[in-house]
Chains A and B, each alone.
Chain A
Amino acid sequence: MEGLFLGLATGTACLAYCAPVLIPYLIGEGKGIRQNSLMLVVFLIGRLYGYLLFAVLAWLAGLLIGQGIIYRDLIFGGTYLVLALLLMIYGFSTSERYCPAKISSSLSEKFARLWPSLLPLVLGFFTGLNLCPPFFLAIAGAAKTGTLAGSLWFFLLFFFGTTLYFVPVPLLGIFRKFQQLKMVARLAAGTVGLYYAYIGVIMIFGGVKRL
Protein backbone atom coordinates (compact mmCIF):
# COMPACT_ATOMS: atom_id res chain seq x y z
CA MET A 1 0.00 0.00 0.00
CA GLU A 2 3.05 2.28 0.21
CA GLY A 3 2.57 3.27 -3.44
CA LEU A 4 -1.03 4.37 -2.81
CA PHE A 5 -0.10 6.49 0.18
CA LEU A 6 2.84 8.00 -1.63
CA GLY A 7 0.47 8.86 -4.50
CA LEU A 8 -2.04 10.42 -2.11
CA ALA A 9 0.70 12.38 -0.38
CA THR A 10 2.33 13.75 -3.53
CA GLY A 11 -0.67 13.90 -5.85
CA THR A 12 -0.89 17.70 -5.83
CA ALA A 13 2.65 17.87 -7.20
CA CYS A 14 1.66 15.38 -9.92
CA LEU A 15 -1.37 17.52 -10.77
CA ALA A 16 0.88 20.59 -10.89
CA TYR A 17 3.12 18.78 -13.39
CA CYS A 18 0.21 17.64 -15.55
CA ALA A 19 -1.78 20.90 -15.33
CA PRO A 20 0.28 22.91 -17.86
CA VAL A 21 -0.47 20.23 -20.45
CA LEU A 22 -3.91 19.06 -19.40
CA ILE A 23 -5.68 22.35 -18.62
CA PRO A 24 -4.87 24.16 -21.90
CA TYR A 25 -5.73 20.97 -23.80
CA LEU A 26 -9.15 20.49 -22.18
CA ILE A 27 -10.13 24.15 -22.44
CA GLY A 28 -8.76 24.24 -25.98
CA GLU A 29 -11.09 21.43 -26.98
CA GLY A 30 -14.02 23.45 -25.63
CA LYS A 31 -16.08 20.41 -24.64
CA GLY A 32 -18.62 19.95 -21.84
CA ILE A 33 -18.06 18.30 -18.48
CA ARG A 34 -19.07 14.81 -19.66
CA GLN A 35 -16.79 14.84 -22.70
CA ASN A 36 -14.01 16.38 -20.61
CA SER A 37 -14.37 13.44 -18.20
CA LEU A 38 -13.96 11.03 -21.11
CA MET A 39 -10.91 12.87 -22.39
CA LEU A 40 -9.48 12.91 -18.88
CA VAL A 41 -9.94 9.14 -18.63
CA VAL A 42 -8.10 8.69 -21.95
CA PHE A 43 -5.38 11.07 -20.75
CA LEU A 44 -5.09 9.14 -17.48
CA ILE A 45 -4.87 5.83 -19.34
CA GLY A 46 -1.99 7.29 -21.33
CA ARG A 47 -0.46 8.47 -18.09
CA LEU A 48 -0.91 4.99 -16.62
CA TYR A 49 1.03 3.53 -19.56
CA GLY A 50 3.75 6.06 -18.84
CA TYR A 51 3.79 5.03 -15.18
CA LEU A 52 3.92 1.35 -16.01
CA LEU A 53 6.81 1.96 -18.35
CA PHE A 54 8.43 3.74 -15.44
CA ALA A 55 7.76 0.70 -13.28
CA VAL A 56 9.73 -1.42 -15.74
CA LEU A 57 12.49 1.18 -15.78
CA ALA A 58 12.47 1.30 -12.00
CA TRP A 59 12.85 -2.48 -11.96
CA LEU A 60 15.77 -2.06 -14.33
CA ALA A 61 16.99 0.74 -12.10
CA GLY A 62 20.52 -0.53 -11.83
CA LEU A 63 20.86 -0.52 -15.61
CA LEU A 64 19.10 2.63 -16.72
CA ILE A 65 18.21 5.05 -13.99
CA GLY A 66 20.50 4.28 -11.07
CA GLN A 67 23.95 3.90 -12.58
CA GLY A 68 23.04 5.03 -16.07
CA ILE A 69 22.56 8.67 -15.16
CA ILE A 70 24.16 9.49 -18.54
CA TYR A 71 21.20 8.06 -20.38
CA ARG A 72 18.61 9.46 -18.01
CA ASP A 73 18.98 12.98 -19.41
CA LEU A 74 18.87 11.71 -22.98
CA ILE A 75 15.74 9.63 -22.40
CA PHE A 76 13.81 12.25 -20.49
CA GLY A 77 15.06 15.06 -22.70
CA GLY A 78 13.68 13.08 -25.63
CA THR A 79 10.28 12.61 -23.98
CA TYR A 80 10.14 16.33 -23.21
CA LEU A 81 10.87 17.10 -26.85
CA VAL A 82 8.12 14.77 -28.11
CA LEU A 83 5.66 16.29 -25.65
CA ALA A 84 6.74 19.80 -26.69
CA LEU A 85 6.31 18.98 -30.36
CA LEU A 86 2.80 17.62 -29.78
CA LEU A 87 1.81 20.67 -27.77
CA MET A 88 3.23 23.11 -30.30
CA ILE A 89 1.48 21.42 -33.21
CA TYR A 90 -1.74 21.37 -31.22
CA GLY A 91 -1.38 24.98 -30.06
CA PHE A 92 -0.06 26.82 -33.09
CA SER A 93 -1.50 24.82 -35.98
CA THR A 94 -4.19 26.79 -37.77
CA SER A 95 -5.41 23.90 -39.94
CA GLU A 96 -8.97 22.74 -39.38
CA ARG A 97 -9.78 19.38 -37.90
CA TYR A 98 -10.44 16.38 -40.11
CA CYS A 99 -13.79 16.64 -41.85
CA PRO A 100 -15.81 13.41 -41.42
CA ALA A 101 -17.68 14.14 -44.64
CA LYS A 102 -14.57 13.41 -46.65
CA ILE A 103 -14.51 9.66 -47.07
CA SER A 104 -11.16 8.24 -47.96
CA SER A 105 -9.43 5.03 -47.11
CA SER A 106 -5.86 6.29 -47.24
CA LEU A 107 -3.82 5.52 -44.15
CA SER A 108 -2.99 9.15 -43.44
CA GLU A 109 -6.65 10.13 -43.48
CA LYS A 110 -7.55 7.23 -41.21
CA PHE A 111 -4.85 8.45 -38.88
CA ALA A 112 -6.13 12.01 -39.13
CA ARG A 113 -9.58 10.76 -38.18
CA LEU A 114 -8.24 8.88 -35.18
CA TRP A 115 -5.75 11.51 -34.08
CA PRO A 116 -8.10 13.73 -32.01
CA SER A 117 -9.03 10.68 -29.90
CA LEU A 118 -5.44 9.53 -29.67
CA LEU A 119 -4.01 12.91 -28.73
CA PRO A 120 -5.03 12.86 -25.03
CA LEU A 121 -3.65 9.31 -24.77
CA VAL A 122 -0.31 10.34 -26.23
CA LEU A 123 -0.20 13.54 -24.16
CA GLY A 124 -1.01 11.50 -21.05
CA PHE A 125 1.72 9.00 -21.87
CA PHE A 126 4.44 11.59 -22.33
CA THR A 127 3.27 13.61 -19.34
CA GLY A 128 3.40 10.38 -17.34
CA LEU A 129 7.04 10.08 -18.30
CA ASN A 130 7.87 13.51 -16.81
CA LEU A 131 10.54 13.29 -14.18
CA CYS A 132 8.82 15.14 -11.35
CA PRO A 133 9.97 15.03 -7.69
CA PRO A 134 7.28 12.52 -6.54
CA PHE A 135 8.59 10.23 -9.23
CA PHE A 136 12.02 10.02 -7.67
CA LEU A 137 10.34 8.84 -4.48
CA ALA A 138 8.19 6.38 -6.41
CA ILE A 139 11.21 5.04 -8.34
CA ALA A 140 13.06 4.50 -5.09
CA GLY A 141 10.02 2.78 -3.57
CA ALA A 142 9.44 0.59 -6.62
CA ALA A 143 13.12 -0.33 -6.96
CA LYS A 144 13.04 -1.51 -3.35
CA THR A 145 10.41 -4.14 -4.17
CA GLY A 146 13.02 -6.02 -6.19
CA THR A 147 10.63 -7.76 -8.62
CA LEU A 148 8.97 -6.62 -11.83
CA ALA A 149 5.52 -7.50 -10.48
CA GLY A 150 6.20 -5.61 -7.24
CA SER A 151 7.42 -2.60 -9.15
CA LEU A 152 4.36 -2.61 -11.45
CA TRP A 153 2.01 -2.98 -8.47
CA PHE A 154 3.76 -0.10 -6.68
CA PHE A 155 3.35 2.22 -9.65
CA LEU A 156 -0.25 1.14 -10.23
CA LEU A 157 -1.14 2.06 -6.66
CA PHE A 158 0.89 5.25 -6.96
CA PHE A 159 -1.13 6.09 -10.06
CA PHE A 160 -4.46 5.56 -8.25
CA GLY A 161 -3.27 7.67 -5.33
CA THR A 162 -2.40 10.60 -7.56
CA THR A 163 -5.48 10.24 -9.78
CA LEU A 164 -7.76 11.37 -6.97
CA TYR A 165 -6.56 14.92 -7.46
CA PHE A 166 -7.62 14.92 -11.11
CA VAL A 167 -11.31 14.39 -10.30
CA PRO A 168 -12.28 18.12 -10.40
CA VAL A 169 -10.48 18.75 -13.71
CA PRO A 170 -13.47 17.95 -16.02
CA LEU A 171 -15.33 20.85 -14.39
CA LEU A 172 -13.32 23.05 -16.75
CA GLY A 173 -16.14 22.20 -19.14
CA ILE A 174 -18.20 24.99 -17.60
CA PHE A 175 -16.06 27.41 -19.62
CA ARG A 176 -16.96 25.87 -22.96
CA LYS A 177 -19.31 28.72 -23.88
CA PHE A 178 -16.39 31.11 -24.09
CA GLN A 179 -15.11 30.60 -27.62
CA GLN A 180 -12.19 32.99 -27.11
CA LEU A 181 -11.02 30.88 -24.18
CA LYS A 182 -10.68 27.94 -26.52
CA MET A 183 -8.29 29.91 -28.72
CA VAL A 184 -6.38 31.21 -25.69
CA ALA A 185 -6.02 27.68 -24.28
CA ARG A 186 -4.68 26.30 -27.55
CA LEU A 187 -2.13 29.09 -27.81
CA ALA A 188 -1.23 28.45 -24.16
CA ALA A 189 -0.64 24.77 -24.97
CA GLY A 190 1.75 25.87 -27.72
CA THR A 191 3.53 28.26 -25.33
CA VAL A 192 3.92 25.52 -22.71
CA GLY A 193 5.25 23.37 -25.55
CA LEU A 194 7.97 25.95 -26.24
CA TYR A 195 8.99 25.79 -22.60
CA TYR A 196 9.17 21.99 -22.62
CA ALA A 197 11.12 22.08 -25.89
CA TYR A 198 13.75 24.19 -24.22
CA ILE A 199 13.88 21.91 -21.14
CA GLY A 200 14.21 18.90 -23.48
CA VAL A 201 17.05 20.47 -25.48
CA ILE A 202 18.93 21.45 -22.31
CA MET A 203 18.54 17.90 -20.89
CA ILE A 204 19.75 16.31 -24.10
CA PHE A 205 22.76 18.65 -24.26
CA GLY A 206 23.51 17.77 -20.63
CA GLY A 207 23.24 14.06 -21.48
CA VAL A 208 25.45 14.38 -24.55
CA LYS A 209 28.08 16.26 -22.51
CA ARG A 210 28.22 13.40 -20.01
CA LEU A 211 28.65 10.72 -22.69
Chain B
Amino acid sequence: MSESLLEALDTKTQRRLTSTILLTLPMVLLTAFMYVGGGMPHGWRATVPMILTYVFVNVLFFQMLRTGRTDKYRAAFFITMAITFIISFMTNLIEMRGSLVLSAADMAKGETPFCHMVIPMTIIPAALTRTIIFPGRILGGFADVATMFTLWIGATLALGRGFCSWGCFYGGLDDGFSRLRKKPLIKKISERWTYLPYAVLVAIVLLSALTLSPTYCAWLCPYKAVTEFAAITSSTVVVQTILFYALFIGLVIVLPILTKKRTQCGLFCPFGAFQSFSNKINPFEIRINRDVCKDCQVCAQKCPTFSLDRNSIENGRTRLSCMKCGRCVDTCPKGAIAYHVKGTPLTFNSQRARLLFIYPAFLFLVVFGGGMIRDGIYRILLLISTGSMIR
Protein backbone atom coordinates (compact mmCIF):
# COMPACT_ATOMS: atom_id res chain seq x y z
CA MET B 1 0.00 0.00 0.00
CA SER B 2 2.66 2.49 1.12
CA GLU B 3 4.95 1.46 -1.76
CA SER B 4 2.28 2.17 -4.35
CA LEU B 5 1.60 5.48 -2.64
CA LEU B 6 5.30 6.38 -2.81
CA GLU B 7 5.35 5.32 -6.43
CA ALA B 8 2.32 7.49 -7.20
CA LEU B 9 3.94 10.38 -5.39
CA ASP B 10 7.13 9.88 -7.33
CA THR B 11 5.25 9.84 -10.60
CA LYS B 12 3.44 13.01 -9.54
CA THR B 13 6.72 14.73 -8.64
CA GLN B 14 8.29 13.64 -11.89
CA ARG B 15 5.30 14.87 -13.86
CA ARG B 16 5.41 18.18 -12.04
CA LEU B 17 9.10 18.60 -12.68
CA THR B 18 8.67 17.76 -16.36
CA SER B 19 5.87 20.28 -16.74
CA THR B 20 7.94 22.91 -14.88
CA ILE B 21 10.87 22.32 -17.23
CA LEU B 22 8.61 22.50 -20.27
CA LEU B 23 7.03 25.71 -19.03
CA THR B 24 10.45 27.24 -18.30
CA LEU B 25 11.79 26.32 -21.72
CA PRO B 26 10.16 29.21 -23.65
CA MET B 27 11.66 31.67 -21.16
CA VAL B 28 15.06 29.98 -21.46
CA LEU B 29 14.92 30.28 -25.26
CA LEU B 30 13.51 33.80 -25.30
CA THR B 31 16.12 35.13 -22.88
CA ALA B 32 18.88 33.33 -24.81
CA PHE B 33 17.69 35.02 -27.98
CA MET B 34 17.45 38.33 -26.15
CA TYR B 35 20.96 38.17 -24.69
CA VAL B 36 22.94 36.64 -27.54
CA GLY B 37 20.71 37.62 -30.46
CA GLY B 38 23.08 40.43 -31.35
CA GLY B 39 26.14 38.16 -31.13
CA MET B 40 28.35 37.06 -28.26
CA PRO B 41 29.95 39.88 -26.30
CA HIS B 42 33.69 40.40 -26.45
CA GLY B 43 35.89 40.06 -23.37
CA TRP B 44 35.25 38.42 -20.02
CA ARG B 45 33.91 41.62 -18.43
CA ALA B 46 31.01 41.58 -20.85
CA THR B 47 30.57 37.81 -21.04
CA VAL B 48 30.41 37.12 -17.30
CA PRO B 49 27.55 39.61 -16.64
CA MET B 50 25.62 38.16 -19.56
CA ILE B 51 25.96 34.59 -18.29
CA LEU B 52 25.22 35.56 -14.69
CA THR B 53 22.10 37.51 -15.69
CA TYR B 54 20.91 34.71 -17.95
CA VAL B 55 21.30 32.09 -15.21
CA PHE B 56 19.82 34.38 -12.54
CA VAL B 57 16.72 35.14 -14.63
CA ASN B 58 15.99 31.56 -15.58
CA VAL B 59 16.68 30.05 -12.17
CA LEU B 60 14.23 32.52 -10.65
CA PHE B 61 11.58 31.74 -13.23
CA PHE B 62 12.08 28.02 -12.83
CA GLN B 63 11.77 28.33 -9.05
CA MET B 64 8.66 30.47 -9.43
CA LEU B 65 7.03 27.72 -11.44
CA ARG B 66 8.36 24.81 -9.39
CA THR B 67 7.42 26.12 -5.97
CA GLY B 68 4.22 27.91 -6.96
CA ARG B 69 5.45 30.93 -4.99
CA THR B 70 5.44 34.23 -6.83
CA ASP B 71 6.46 37.06 -4.54
CA LYS B 72 9.72 35.62 -3.19
CA TYR B 73 11.33 35.15 -6.61
CA ARG B 74 9.77 38.27 -8.11
CA ALA B 75 11.21 40.30 -5.26
CA ALA B 76 14.68 38.82 -5.76
CA PHE B 77 14.66 40.07 -9.34
CA PHE B 78 12.85 43.32 -8.55
CA ILE B 79 15.25 44.35 -5.77
CA THR B 80 18.32 43.39 -7.82
CA MET B 81 16.94 45.42 -10.72
CA ALA B 82 16.50 48.52 -8.53
CA ILE B 83 20.03 48.32 -7.11
CA THR B 84 21.68 47.67 -10.47
CA PHE B 85 19.54 50.38 -12.06
CA ILE B 86 21.08 52.98 -9.78
CA ILE B 87 24.61 51.73 -10.53
CA SER B 88 23.92 51.55 -14.26
CA PHE B 89 22.03 54.87 -14.48
CA MET B 90 24.59 56.88 -12.55
CA THR B 91 27.58 55.53 -14.48
CA ASN B 92 25.85 55.95 -17.84
CA LEU B 93 24.97 59.52 -16.94
CA ILE B 94 28.55 60.32 -15.99
CA GLU B 95 29.74 58.82 -19.29
CA MET B 96 27.12 60.74 -21.28
CA ARG B 97 27.18 64.12 -19.54
CA GLY B 98 30.37 63.96 -17.56
CA SER B 99 28.54 64.47 -14.26
CA LEU B 100 25.47 63.52 -12.25
CA VAL B 101 24.69 67.20 -11.92
CA LEU B 102 21.93 68.40 -14.21
CA SER B 103 22.75 71.88 -15.41
CA ALA B 104 20.48 74.39 -17.14
CA ALA B 105 22.49 73.78 -20.32
CA ASP B 106 21.77 70.03 -20.16
CA MET B 107 18.06 70.77 -19.79
CA ALA B 108 18.16 73.19 -22.69
CA LYS B 109 19.85 70.51 -24.80
CA GLY B 110 17.10 68.05 -23.83
CA GLU B 111 19.49 65.67 -22.11
CA THR B 112 17.34 64.87 -19.09
CA PRO B 113 16.37 61.18 -19.10
CA PHE B 114 12.59 60.77 -19.11
CA CYS B 115 11.09 58.37 -16.59
CA HIS B 116 7.59 56.96 -16.21
CA MET B 117 6.91 59.09 -13.10
CA VAL B 118 6.50 62.14 -15.35
CA ILE B 119 3.73 60.64 -17.47
CA PRO B 120 0.66 61.80 -15.42
CA MET B 121 1.99 65.36 -15.31
CA THR B 122 2.46 65.62 -19.05
CA ILE B 123 -1.08 64.76 -20.15
CA ILE B 124 -3.01 68.01 -19.45
CA PRO B 125 -0.23 70.34 -20.63
CA ALA B 126 0.22 68.16 -23.76
CA ALA B 127 -3.50 68.43 -24.49
CA LEU B 128 -3.54 72.20 -23.90
CA THR B 129 -0.24 73.26 -25.40
CA ARG B 130 0.80 70.32 -27.59
CA THR B 131 4.15 70.20 -25.89
CA ILE B 132 5.73 67.73 -23.48
CA ILE B 133 6.66 69.71 -20.37
CA PHE B 134 9.93 67.87 -19.81
CA PRO B 135 13.43 68.84 -20.85
CA GLY B 136 14.10 65.46 -22.50
CA ARG B 137 14.34 64.16 -26.04
CA ILE B 138 11.20 63.01 -27.81
CA LEU B 139 13.09 60.41 -29.84
CA GLY B 140 16.65 59.13 -29.73
CA GLY B 141 19.22 59.43 -26.99
CA PHE B 142 19.22 57.99 -23.49
CA ALA B 143 15.70 57.25 -22.07
CA ASP B 144 13.71 59.31 -24.55
CA VAL B 145 10.04 60.24 -24.15
CA ALA B 146 8.67 58.10 -27.00
CA THR B 147 10.38 54.90 -25.78
CA MET B 148 9.19 55.36 -22.21
CA PHE B 149 5.62 56.06 -23.33
CA THR B 150 5.62 52.95 -25.54
CA LEU B 151 6.96 50.75 -22.76
CA TRP B 152 4.47 52.20 -20.32
CA ILE B 153 1.48 51.63 -22.61
CA GLY B 154 2.58 48.02 -23.19
CA ALA B 155 3.07 47.40 -19.49
CA THR B 156 -0.22 49.05 -18.61
CA LEU B 157 -2.17 46.83 -20.97
CA ALA B 158 -0.37 43.68 -19.86
CA LEU B 159 -0.02 44.29 -16.14
CA GLY B 160 -2.19 47.20 -15.01
CA ARG B 161 -0.79 48.43 -11.71
CA GLY B 162 1.23 45.25 -11.69
CA PHE B 163 3.76 47.55 -13.37
CA CYS B 164 4.64 48.82 -9.88
CA SER B 165 5.74 45.36 -8.74
CA TRP B 166 7.03 43.96 -12.01
CA GLY B 167 8.36 46.88 -14.02
CA CYS B 168 9.19 49.95 -11.95
CA PHE B 169 12.95 50.24 -11.53
CA TYR B 170 12.53 52.28 -8.37
CA GLY B 171 10.01 50.11 -6.54
CA GLY B 172 12.57 47.46 -5.62
CA LEU B 173 14.23 49.87 -3.21
CA ASP B 174 11.38 50.27 -0.74
CA ASP B 175 10.39 46.65 -1.43
CA GLY B 176 13.90 45.65 -0.34
CA PHE B 177 13.96 47.83 2.76
CA SER B 178 10.49 46.60 3.77
CA ARG B 179 11.89 43.07 4.00
CA LEU B 180 14.78 43.85 6.34
CA ARG B 181 12.95 43.40 9.67
CA LYS B 182 11.09 40.26 10.66
CA LYS B 183 8.27 42.09 12.39
CA PRO B 184 6.98 45.62 11.90
CA LEU B 185 7.49 48.22 14.62
CA ILE B 186 4.62 50.37 13.36
CA LYS B 187 1.55 48.25 12.82
CA LYS B 188 -1.32 50.70 12.46
CA ILE B 189 -1.46 53.27 9.70
CA SER B 190 -4.70 55.18 9.28
CA GLU B 191 -6.64 54.25 6.16
CA ARG B 192 -6.86 57.97 5.40
CA TRP B 193 -3.17 58.02 4.38
CA THR B 194 -3.72 55.35 1.73
CA TYR B 195 -5.56 58.07 -0.22
CA LEU B 196 -2.55 60.39 -0.10
CA PRO B 197 -1.04 59.14 -3.42
CA TYR B 198 -4.26 60.13 -5.19
CA ALA B 199 -4.15 63.53 -3.48
CA VAL B 200 -0.52 64.01 -4.50
CA LEU B 201 -1.55 63.00 -8.03
CA VAL B 202 -4.38 65.59 -8.13
CA ALA B 203 -2.08 68.27 -6.70
CA ILE B 204 0.84 67.64 -9.07
CA VAL B 205 -1.39 67.34 -12.14
CA LEU B 206 -3.04 70.68 -11.34
CA LEU B 207 0.21 72.39 -10.39
CA SER B 208 2.00 71.02 -13.46
CA ALA B 209 -0.79 72.37 -15.66
CA LEU B 210 -0.47 75.70 -13.84
CA THR B 211 3.31 76.02 -13.98
CA LEU B 212 3.84 74.03 -17.20
CA SER B 213 6.67 72.17 -15.52
CA PRO B 214 6.93 68.65 -14.03
CA THR B 215 6.23 69.66 -10.42
CA TYR B 216 6.84 66.20 -8.95
CA CYS B 217 10.30 65.95 -10.51
CA ALA B 218 11.16 69.46 -9.36
CA TRP B 219 9.93 69.13 -5.80
CA LEU B 220 8.91 65.72 -4.58
CA CYS B 221 10.67 62.82 -6.29
CA PRO B 222 12.60 60.89 -3.59
CA TYR B 223 14.56 59.02 -6.24
CA LYS B 224 16.37 62.18 -7.25
CA ALA B 225 18.49 61.34 -4.24
CA VAL B 226 19.93 58.31 -6.04
CA THR B 227 19.84 59.35 -9.68
CA GLU B 228 20.62 62.86 -10.87
CA PHE B 229 20.30 66.22 -9.19
CA ALA B 230 20.08 69.81 -10.33
CA ALA B 231 23.16 71.99 -10.15
CA ILE B 232 22.92 73.98 -6.91
CA THR B 233 22.66 77.51 -8.16
CA SER B 234 20.06 79.01 -5.81
CA SER B 235 18.42 78.59 -2.42
CA THR B 236 15.43 77.04 -4.21
CA VAL B 237 17.59 74.17 -5.49
CA VAL B 238 19.04 73.71 -1.99
CA VAL B 239 15.52 73.33 -0.56
CA GLN B 240 14.55 70.98 -3.39
CA THR B 241 17.62 68.82 -2.75
CA ILE B 242 16.91 68.69 0.99
CA LEU B 243 13.34 67.63 0.19
CA PHE B 244 14.52 64.85 -2.14
CA TYR B 245 16.83 63.41 0.50
CA ALA B 246 14.30 63.78 3.32
CA LEU B 247 11.63 61.99 1.27
CA PHE B 248 14.06 59.27 0.21
CA ILE B 249 15.27 58.60 3.74
CA GLY B 250 11.76 58.78 5.17
CA LEU B 251 9.64 57.00 2.58
CA VAL B 252 12.09 54.62 0.93
CA ILE B 253 14.31 53.62 3.86
CA VAL B 254 13.00 54.37 7.36
CA LEU B 255 9.23 53.86 7.02
CA PRO B 256 9.50 50.62 4.98
CA ILE B 257 11.83 49.20 7.65
CA LEU B 258 9.50 50.25 10.48
CA THR B 259 6.23 49.22 8.84
CA LYS B 260 7.31 46.33 6.56
CA LYS B 261 5.27 48.08 3.85
CA ARG B 262 6.22 49.76 0.62
CA THR B 263 5.44 53.22 1.95
CA GLN B 264 6.74 55.24 -1.01
CA CYS B 265 4.70 53.14 -3.46
CA GLY B 266 1.61 52.76 -1.27
CA LEU B 267 1.42 56.08 0.54
CA PHE B 268 2.97 58.66 -1.73
CA CYS B 269 3.76 57.77 -5.35
CA PRO B 270 1.41 59.72 -7.68
CA PHE B 271 2.40 57.61 -10.67
CA GLY B 272 1.27 54.53 -8.76
CA ALA B 273 -2.05 56.22 -8.00
CA PHE B 274 -2.43 57.04 -11.69
CA GLN B 275 -1.50 53.49 -12.62
CA SER B 276 -4.14 52.12 -10.22
CA PHE B 277 -6.86 53.14 -12.66
CA SER B 278 -5.33 50.84 -15.27
CA ASN B 279 -6.30 47.92 -13.01
CA LYS B 280 -9.84 48.59 -14.25
CA ILE B 281 -8.90 47.77 -17.85
CA ASN B 282 -6.27 45.13 -17.17
CA PRO B 283 -7.53 41.54 -17.57
CA PHE B 284 -5.75 40.22 -14.46
CA GLU B 285 -6.83 40.62 -10.86
CA ILE B 286 -6.45 38.99 -7.46
CA ARG B 287 -9.57 37.34 -6.04
CA ILE B 288 -10.41 35.91 -2.64
CA ASN B 289 -12.51 32.78 -2.30
CA ARG B 290 -15.04 33.76 0.35
CA ASP B 291 -16.08 30.14 0.88
CA VAL B 292 -12.60 29.21 2.04
CA CYS B 293 -11.47 32.50 3.61
CA LYS B 294 -11.43 32.41 7.44
CA ASP B 295 -11.12 36.18 7.84
CA CYS B 296 -7.80 35.77 9.64
CA GLN B 297 -6.59 39.05 8.02
CA VAL B 298 -3.10 37.64 7.48
CA CYS B 299 -3.25 38.81 3.86
CA ALA B 300 -4.12 42.37 4.93
CA GLN B 301 -1.24 42.37 7.41
CA LYS B 302 1.21 41.00 4.89
CA CYS B 303 0.12 43.09 1.88
CA PRO B 304 3.01 45.52 1.40
CA THR B 305 0.95 48.01 -0.61
CA PHE B 306 -2.10 48.62 1.63
CA SER B 307 -4.28 46.97 -0.99
CA LEU B 308 -6.26 44.68 1.31
CA ASP B 309 -8.51 45.63 4.20
CA ARG B 310 -11.51 44.15 5.98
CA ASN B 311 -13.95 45.62 3.45
CA SER B 312 -12.11 44.44 0.38
CA ILE B 313 -11.63 40.97 1.85
CA GLU B 314 -15.37 40.77 2.55
CA ASN B 315 -15.96 41.67 -1.10
CA GLY B 316 -13.53 38.99 -2.24
CA ARG B 317 -11.36 41.52 -4.06
CA THR B 318 -8.33 43.70 -3.53
CA ARG B 319 -8.45 47.48 -3.50
CA LEU B 320 -7.78 49.43 -6.71
CA SER B 321 -4.16 49.93 -5.68
CA CYS B 322 -3.24 46.22 -5.91
CA MET B 323 0.20 45.78 -7.51
CA LYS B 324 -0.24 42.03 -8.11
CA CYS B 325 3.02 41.19 -6.35
CA GLY B 326 1.56 37.86 -5.22
CA ARG B 327 2.44 38.20 -1.51
CA CYS B 328 -1.16 37.59 -0.39
CA VAL B 329 -1.47 34.58 -2.70
CA ASP B 330 1.70 33.10 -1.22
CA THR B 331 0.90 33.81 2.42
CA CYS B 332 -2.79 32.92 2.71
CA PRO B 333 -2.82 29.94 5.11
CA LYS B 334 -5.98 28.54 3.50
CA GLY B 335 -4.94 29.08 -0.12
CA ALA B 336 -8.04 31.22 -0.58
CA ILE B 337 -6.38 33.89 -2.73
CA ALA B 338 -5.49 33.45 -6.38
CA TYR B 339 -4.71 35.26 -9.59
CA HIS B 340 -7.77 35.48 -11.81
CA VAL B 341 -8.51 36.45 -15.40
CA LYS B 342 -11.54 38.73 -15.55
CA GLY B 343 -14.52 37.26 -17.31
CA THR B 344 -13.52 33.66 -16.60
CA PRO B 345 -15.12 31.42 -13.93
CA LEU B 346 -13.63 31.65 -10.44
CA THR B 347 -11.63 28.45 -10.11
CA PHE B 348 -9.36 28.98 -7.18
CA ASN B 349 -7.43 25.73 -7.50
CA SER B 350 -6.28 26.49 -11.01
CA GLN B 351 -2.73 27.64 -11.72
CA ARG B 352 -3.66 28.65 -15.25
CA ALA B 353 -4.55 32.26 -14.42
CA ARG B 354 -1.33 32.65 -12.43
CA LEU B 355 0.68 31.30 -15.35
CA LEU B 356 -1.10 33.58 -17.78
CA PHE B 357 -0.17 36.54 -15.60
CA ILE B 358 3.39 35.69 -14.61
CA TYR B 359 4.51 34.91 -18.15
CA PRO B 360 4.03 38.43 -19.56
CA ALA B 361 4.88 39.98 -16.19
CA PHE B 362 8.17 38.13 -15.85
CA LEU B 363 8.98 38.70 -19.50
CA PHE B 364 8.44 42.42 -19.02
CA LEU B 365 10.68 42.31 -15.96
CA VAL B 366 13.35 40.55 -18.01
CA VAL B 367 13.10 42.99 -20.91
CA PHE B 368 13.07 46.03 -18.64
CA GLY B 369 15.45 44.85 -15.95
CA GLY B 370 17.72 42.32 -17.65
CA GLY B 371 19.82 44.99 -19.30
CA MET B 372 20.08 46.94 -16.04
CA ILE B 373 21.24 43.88 -14.10
CA ARG B 374 23.74 42.99 -16.82
CA ASP B 375 25.14 46.50 -16.95
CA GLY B 376 25.17 46.74 -13.14
CA ILE B 377 27.24 43.55 -12.86
CA TYR B 378 29.51 44.79 -15.64
CA ARG B 379 30.12 48.04 -13.75
CA ILE B 380 30.90 46.17 -10.54
CA LEU B 381 33.39 43.94 -12.39
CA LEU B 382 34.88 47.04 -13.98
CA LEU B 383 35.28 48.59 -10.53
CA ILE B 384 36.96 45.47 -9.17
CA SER B 385 39.31 45.06 -12.12
CA THR B 386 40.16 48.67 -12.97
CA GLY B 387 39.23 50.67 -9.88
CA SER B 388 36.59 52.69 -11.73
CA MET B 389 33.03 52.05 -12.88
CA ILE B 390 33.43 54.43 -15.80
CA ARG B 391 34.65 53.17 -19.17
Contact = CB atoms under 8 A, between A and B. Distances in A.
Interface of A: 12, 16-17, 19-20, 23-24, 91, 94, 180, 183-188, 190-192, 195, 198, 202, 205
A20 B207 contact: yes
A19 B128 CA distance: 15
A195 B203 contact: yes
B348 interface: no
- How many B residues touch the partner, as a band? 10 to 19
Interface in B189-215: 192, 195-196, 198-200, 202-203, 206-207, 209-210, 215
B287 to A, nearest CB: 21
Contacts of B219: 195, 198
B210 A183 contact: no
Nearest to A22: B206
B202 A24 contact: yes
Given A17-B210, A20-B210, A191 B203 contact: yes
Contact of B195 (A19, A183, A192): A183
Contact of B235 (A19, A186, A205): A205
Given A183-B192, A184-B202, A192-B207, 4 more contacts: A17-B210, A20-B210, A184-B198, A205-B235
B239 interface: yes
B206 to A, nearest CB: 4
B199 A184 contact: yes
Contact of A23 (B198, B200, B206): B206
A207 to B, nearest CB: 13
Q: Is the interface of A mostly helix, strand, loop or mixed?
A: helix
A191 B199 contact: yes
In this complex, which of B199, B200, B236 has the most chain A Cβ atoms within 10 angstroms of its Cβ? B199
Given A202-B235, A205-B235, A187 B196 contact: yes
Contacts of A183: 192, 195
A91 B196 CA distance: 11
Contacts of B239: 198, 202
Nearest to A13: B210
Interface in B234-257: 235-236, 239
A202 B237 CA distance: 11
B203 A16 contact: no
A13 to B, nearest CB: 9
A19 B205 CA distance: 11
B209 A19 contact: yes
Given A94-B192, A183-B195, A188 B202 contact: yes
22 contacts: A16-B209, A19-B206, A19-B209, A24-B202, A94-B192, A184-B195, A184-B198, A184-B199, A184-B202, A185-B199, A186-B199, A187-B192, A187-B198, A188-B198, A188-B203, A188-B206, A191-B199, A191-B200, A191-B203, A192-B206, A195-B215, A205-B235
A107 B18 CA distance: 80
Contacts of A91: 199
A24 B203 CA distance: 8
A195 B218 CA distance: 11
B20 to A, nearest CB: 42
A187 B209 contact: no
Interface string B125-154: 000100000000000000000000000000
A198 B238 CA distance: 13
Contacts of B192: 94, 183, 187
Contacts of B203: 20, 24, 188, 191-192, 195
B199 A190 contact: yes
Contacts of A191: 196, 199-200, 202-203
Contacts of B195: 180, 183-184, 187
